[in-house]
Structure 1
Amino acid sequence: MNHLAANMRSSIVVFLSAVLALNACAPSETAEQKTQRERAKAGLALWEQKCKTEAGEKIYRRVEDVEGITLLKVRPPAGENEWHDRMWPGAAFAHEGTAEEYIKDFLGYEEAFGPEGKPSPITPTARGAINTSYKAGPHERPGYRYVDAIDEKDGRRYRYSGSVKVVGQKDQTAPGIVDEMKNEGDRFDPNVYRWTLDKTYAPDPAPRYAVTYEDHVVPEERALGVASSTVKVLDIQANEVLGELTVFAFTYGFESRGSSAWLRARICPTYGGGSGSPSRLFTDQVLVPRKDN
């Protein structure tokens, strides 16, 4: 938290310095500009307070070797209209995947690379990115083997999983493939593989563990450009909350159309190093996915 606090203070100093610089350079300030500046300053102060007192993670119980989970809600698609909407419910998780991409986040494996493209260690404070690209062999940090979710169109529970399928053949006349054929000899594989999302009717019973989220739309906070949301990990059978992650976002500039204000928001905590998969990267700390064989 000390590192997070330092980053927050640094961001705040930079922001306020920019505000002061603008004030010094501007020969005059309209009443509307003054109102916007004061609102942004108040919003930044509120966000800083929330980051210190309410944001962060709480893990009450950890469960190992989990095969599958239920997503009680899936984040709906979002675009420019939502990113610019001060009251958009999903604002605090603006960079997270939506619809099927949200589901894929829980199925993909985690990996991290350093500046030279070499694998780098993954630690609680230095997480990687979620990937679903085809990669042969077992993964050190796999996702869940399946994810159940309710389809809003028909109200049925479906089971999603990922599998690698042959989707084509390599062009054996291409220079790179010719070299590969020479080097591999009898081991050459002409197939092109791709990870794909599979969807089937979910069998009973439903998974014991589930994930949901609660987006908070507090008018007084949204007026100042502050949004928040809480991810909850649940044991349905025991009716128990296993963990919670609360995120706060702050932004400004809603007066400028097309600003995608929420995509520029400051976030605390920046779970997973600010990746686009904070819900997954928190959930797998509570419900640890079963390792690949």
Structure 2
Amino acid sequence: MKMRSDQIVRGIILLGLLLVPMIVPSEAGILGKKETPGERFRKGIEKIRQACESRKLDPGEVCGEVSKLKPADPLATEEGRFAHSIKIPDPVSEDSGYKPEMTSQEYFDHLCKTEAGEFIYRTVENVEGIYMMRPRKEATDEELEHLYALEDPYGYTTGTSAEQAFGFIRPDGYRYVETPLLEVRVPSWKKRYRDSSLSAPPPAKAKYARYFGFDARNMKSMKMEYDRSLRSRYGFTWRGISRPHDREMGIVGGELIILELASNDVVAVRRGFIKSSNVKNLTGVWWLKGQVCPGGLGRAEHGGDNFVLKVVKPVPSKGEHYGSR
């Protein structure tokens, strides 16, 4: 898959992130509105920074890591650049419909009503495996309480790519899941519950990892192998939505996009939004407890397991062992 030039897209996305603190707070101040999530976040970060600077740290002590984080760069990786280059049939509008008099909740409700949802252009039957084109990294606690550090907190789920594969490989799911070549670190405490193949180093010319064999009972039944080529015909990726007012109001949108790999044709899109809940930490942000739409989804479903399985439908199971061949 050929990646497109990203310079213009990178500039638009990063400009949107940087302009937020410059635009909305002044509007809020003029209108006498209550403090925005963005204003609270910046005040909290400054308090953390000053608290760390006001005392002498012990040798090796780490202080205020959340205040040192930078906004996510969606185009820092090849997978990110490709995700943001995809043209979908029903894109979000550059004008989100934000009005200065809106509260965070009103703006969130507006986005949920006008932009969130599932957009399925076709479904596919009898699919053996899926390509997870842009596996997410596990977020730190500091990233989860930072307004800008995660590109798409709506679609974020805990766990590494290997853990996400468990949601797709099951008796009513796929036979295998493929990912780009990643550095996978299995914690020592977890190794007793995982097959050794999940932490094996890749051979020199490998490009992809393939997970298979999970029987939905024993975690050790999940295996992983490396390959130079893909078997999957379909894949999915994700991207965050960046517009001037969203983050200032404590809101972030994300899109999950399913593609036919040979043509890059878009098969389906799921778009959702998350609003940071009013938590009591200094930053006012904790994404794992945010309000989401479409509503009624558990945290695991934000990653899109059921949506992908509904659109790109697995081969019906006959109870056989799900091996790699």
Fold shared per TM-score above 0.5: yes
Does residue 1:90 correspond to 2:152, yes or no?
yes
User: Following the alignment from structure 2 to structure 1, what is the Cα–Cα distance between the partners of residues 218 and 270?
Assistant: 36
Q: Which amino acid in the other structure matches residue 89 of structure 1? A: E
- Aligned partner of residue 58 in structure 1, secondary structure: strand
3-state secondary structure, aligned to 1:276: helix
Matched, 1:157 2:182: no
Q: Match of 2:34?
A: 34
Unaligned runs of 5+ in 2: 1-31, 41-101, 184-201, 319-325
Pair 1:103–1:266, CA change in 2 (3 A): same
Deviation at 1:99, TM superposition (A): 2.9
1:262 corresponds, among 284, 287, 290, to 287
1:207 Cα shift?
1.2
Instruction: Find the aligned partners of 1:230 and 1:216 in 2 and give their Cα distance.
Output: 7
Larger radius of gyration: 1
Instruction: Provide the secondary structure at the position in 2 that maps to 1:50.
Output: helix
Partner of residue 314, structure 2: 289
Task: Evaluate the alpha carbon distance shift between residue 59 and residue 159 of structure 1 in structure 2; reply closer, same or farther with a 3 A threshold.
Answer: same
Residue type of the alignment partner of 2:34: K
Residue 316 of structure 2 aligns to a residue whose secondary structure is coil
What SS does the corresponding residue of 1:89 show, helix, strand or coil?
Answer: coil
Matched residue, 1:23 = none
Q: How big is the shift at 1:37?
A: 8.1
Instruction: State the 1:98 CA deviation.
Output: 3.8
Given residue 80 of structure 1, which amino acid in structure 2 is its aligned partner?
A: D
In the TM superposition, residue 208 of structure 1 has moved relative to its aligned partner by 1.1
Distance in 2 of aligned mates of 1:62 and 1:163: 25
Residue deviations 1:3-62 (CA, integer Å, cap 9, x gap) = xxxxxxxxxxxxxxxxxxxxxxxxxxxxx9932489896221111111011100011010
Shift of 1:93: 2.3
Match of 1:52 in 2: 113
1:76-122 Cα deviation digits (max 9, x unpaired): 101311210101213112445443222222213xxxxxxxxxxxxxx
Question: Cα gap change, 1:193/1:43 in structure 2, threshold over 3 Å: closer, same or farther?
Answer: closer
Query: Aligned-pair distance for 1:65?
Result: 0.8
Letter paired with 1:159:
R
Match of 2:164 in 1: 102
Q: How does 1:117-196 map to 2 (within 5 A)?
A: 139=171, 142-153=172-183, 156-164=207-215, 194-196=219-221
2:254 is matched with which residue: 204, 207, 229?
229
| Matching residue within 298, 309, 322 for 1:274 | 298
Structure 1 range deviating more: 254-263 or 235-244 = 254-263
Query: Distance in 1 between the 2:275 and 2:219 partners?
Result: 38
Q: Pick closer, same or farther for the CA change 1:214–1:44 going to 2, 3 Å.
A: same
Which of the pair is proportionally richer in strand? Answer: 1
Structure 1 counterpart of 2:243, from 188, 207, 218? 218
How far did residue 149 of structure 1 move?
0.5
One-letter code of the match for 2:169? L
Structure 2 length as normaliser, TM-score?
A: 0.55
Are the aligned partners of 1:162 and 1:196 in contact in 2 as well (CA < 8 Å)?
yes
Alpha-carbon shift at residue 263 of structure 1 (Å): 1.6
Distance in 1 of aligned mates of 2:211 and 2:37: 47
- C-alpha change, 1:52 and 1:96, in structure 2 (3 Å) is farther
2: CA distance, partners of 1:252 / 1:90: 16
Q: Which residue number in structure 2 is paired with residue 70 of structure 1?
A: 131
Partner of 1:46, secondary structure, is: helix
Structure-2 residue corresponding to 1:124 = none
Relative to structure 1, the CA distance from residue 149 to residue 34 in structure 2 (aligned partners, 3 Å threshold; closer, same or farther) is same
Which residue in 2 is equivalent to 1:250?
Answer: 275
Query: In structure 1, what is the Cα distance between the partners aligned to 2:238 and 2:37?
Result: 32
Q: Distance in 2 between matches of 1:46 and 1:77?
A: 29
**Structure 1 unaligned residues grouped into runs of 5+:** 1-31, 109-138, 166-191
Write out per-residue CA displacement over residues 126-153 of structure 1, whole angstroms, 9 at most, x where no aligned residue: xxxxxxxxxxxxx4xx111001101234
